[in-house]
Amino acid sequence: MYALQQKILSEGIVLSEQVLKVDAFLNHQIDPELMRQIGVEFAERFKDAGITKIITIEASGIAPAVMTGLVLGVPVIFARKYQSLTLKDDLYRSKVFSFTKQTESTIAISNKYLHSEDKVLIIDDFLANGHAALALVDLISQANATVCGIGIVIEKSFQTGRKLLDEKGFKVESLARVKSLTDGQVSFVES
Amino acid sequence: MYALQQKILSEGIVLSEQVLKVDAFLNHQIDPELMRQIGVEFAERFKDAGITKIITIEASGIAPAVMTGLVLGVPVIFARKYQSLTLKDDLYRSKVFSFTKQTESTIAISNKYLHSEDKVLIIDDFLANGHAALALVDLISQANATVCGIGIVIEKSFQTGRKLLDEKGFKVESLARVKSLTDGQVSFVES
């Protein structure tokens, strides 16, 4: 997705050969018009998959997921990283290790909003080693619902997540695929 | 806002005389079309305020804030509740006590994205005792920026927050004003 690649080149910051910081438009400050375009793009790529629900993780997945849900006309569920007082229903839970924060956390969704007939699109901001996506797959499996696709805003293709998800047979669509972050430069996988 | 009131009546759950659970469309599952309508409504109410930036708190404020930012054509910043590895800039910090979770947490925004010339609209999902809104006001004050308004999706008018913010002279616009949650019933302030 050209507009996203240009935004990464102009406003992304390479912190190391592993870490790309996009706090300027996705992870802290959000560019709503770019998110709308991202939603349109994801909707186009998954329009024939019969999606009934989108699942993401708080917080950075919410904006692209909601914009996608708006175009596809389906609800969005964001998995929560903690158990709040008002989220006391029976929960599906899974553990996820965050590469960025180097911590393990539990994510959860209520069993009220996800059912066996649901065809689910997973949306997330980053794909690195695939742990977050697989934790979401686990939650969806607990509901006996079907994962129909995985939409990623920025994929770090030099890490293992994409290969892992491909091997498991998921349809993965990444809007920007970062080949490397060497020498402080972002280079993309040729499309 | 009629559509929001109807949604609260049909899908909100009164947990106690203090707690209204709206996990069905705002705090866990999100209704993207309702969020779009909320964004249009906030934008209409603050269209003459010269807003340059919207600030909210993760996670439930993000969807209504981004939809409002899309209509107003301005960026959204979500204050983070923790300090992630990629958020290492100089930060403005403030403490907020969560009524829902009965815990105190620190929220922070990077000083890179908020400046003294900014005219800021605060958007949040709930207004109860006003602590979250005042913590955001505190962050904005640290940047010497101007708070031009506060947009609330659901105000619990029987708690102290609205009065507190009115007394401080802020323009507060709440899309649903809940008068009471007595006997398991939601009743609204007459508009």
CATH number at B123 reads 3.40.50.2020
Looking at the domain assignment, is residue A189 inside a domain?
no
Looking at the domain assignment, is residue A86 inside a domain?
yes
Residue B85 has pLDDT above 90, yes or no: no
**B15–A contact, CB cutoff 8 A:** yes
CA distance, residue B184 to nearest chain A CA (Å): 15
Looking at the domain assignment, is residue A187 inside a domain?
no
Looking at the domain assignment, is residue A145 inside a domain?
yes
Of B24, B31, B87, nearest to A23 by CB-CB distance is B87
Task: Give residue-wise pLDDT tens across range B41-82.
Answer: 999 999 999 999 999 999 999 999 999 999 999 999 999 986
Average pLDDT over residues A21-27: 97
- Tokens 């989220």 belong to residue: A87
Does the annotation place A115 within a ligand binding site? no
Report how many domains make up chain A.
1
Task: Give residue-wise pLDDT tens across range A88-134.
Answer: 668 999 998 876 677 888 999 999 999 999 999 999 999 999 999 99
Q: Are the beta carbons of B22 and B28 closer than 8 angstroms?
A: no
Mean pLDDT of chain B, nearest integer = 94
Residue B86 has pLDDT above 60, yes or no: no
Domain of B121 in residue numbering reads as 2-188
Q: What local confidence, expressed as pLDDT, does residue A81 receive?
A: 85
**Residues A15, B102: C-beta atoms closer than 8 Å:** no
Of B25, B31, B66, nearest to A30 by CB-CB distance is B66
How sure is the predictor about B158, in pLDDT bands with cuts at 50, 70 and 90? very high
Of A27, A59, A70, nearest to B33 by CB-CB distance is A70
Pairing status of strand A119-127 against strand A53-57: parallel
Angle CA A107–B27–B115, to nearest 5:
95
Q: Are the beta carbons of A133 and A150 closer than 8 angstroms?
A: yes
Looking at the domain assignment, is residue A37 inside a domain?
yes
Looking at the domain assignment, is residue A190 inside a domain?
no
Q: What local confidence, expressed as pLDDT, does residue A86 receive?
A: 55
B130 vs A2, A120, B94, B174, B189, CA distance in Å?
Answer: 42, 37, 14, 13, 18
Q: What local confidence, expressed as pLDDT, does residue B102 receive?
A: 79
Pairing status of strand B13-14 against strand B20-21: antiparallel
Please, is B185 exposed, middle or buried when counting C-beta atoms within 10 Å of its C-beta (0-12, 13-18, 19+)? exposed
Q: Are the beta carbons of A152 and A132 closer than 8 angstroms?
A: no
